[in-house]
Amino acid sequence: MATYSIHYAGFSLTTHQKFTLAQSITKIHANVTGADAYFAQVIFKQLDQHDCFIGGVLLDEPHIFMVGQIRLGRSDQIKKQLLVELEIAIQKASQLASHHIWAYIEELPPDQMIEYGQILPGVGSERAWFTTLPVAIQEKLHLLAL
């Protein structure tokens, strides 16, 4: 239900750093929003530094740009907490200074999202939605719980 896209340029992330960051992002998302861990996915994409510009000027320092797409319906306080905790986790995993980490949260109406073959539920209706999933998918998702 949440997709966190991590684009980075000017440096490399190791597989271990990606794993650590994916685990941290998933845990933060679950703890802050109350959603089960299987609702979070993390996607990494390394960009060529020569394809990144800030203010029309070629990027000359390493950067991470994170966009988190979450379901509409969470309070401003939750979204702010999510951003702060995610930025700290990214900084810790990447060892970049905070001014090299840009993070954004985008909200999407859940009825405009589909995962596991089902239109997503509104915030707070996850349990009822879960019971509509095929048993094989329910079993798989139970294994992904943190």
Which tokens is 40 given? 């979070």
Q: Is 0.85 surpassed by the pTM of this model? A: yes
Q: What is the pLDDT of residues 21-79, one digit of tens each?
A: 999 999 999 999 998 898 899 999 999 989 999 999 999 999 999 999 999 999 999 99
The count of other CB atoms within 10 Å of the CB of residue 13 is 17
Q: How far apart are CA 28 and CA 125, in angstroms?
A: 20
Closest of 8, 14, 29, 17 to residue 105, by C-alpha: 29
Q: Is 118 helix (H, G, I), strand (E, B) or coil?
A: strand
Cβ-based neighbours of 124, under 8 Å, separated by 6 or more: 73
Q: How far apart are CA 135 and CA 29, in angstroms?
A: 25
State residue 145's pLDDT score.
Answer: 66
Q: What is the pLDDT of residues 120-143, one digit of tens each?
A: 998 889 889 989 999 999 888 888
Structural domains in the chain plus CATH codes: 2-143 (3.30.429.10)
Q: Which long-range contacts (CB under 8 A, 24 or more apart) does 45-54 make?
A: 45/5, 45/6, 45/7, 45/8, 46/7, 46/8, 46/9, 46/12, 46/13, 47/7, 47/8, 47/9, 48/9, 49/9, 49/10, 51/9, 52/9, 52/10
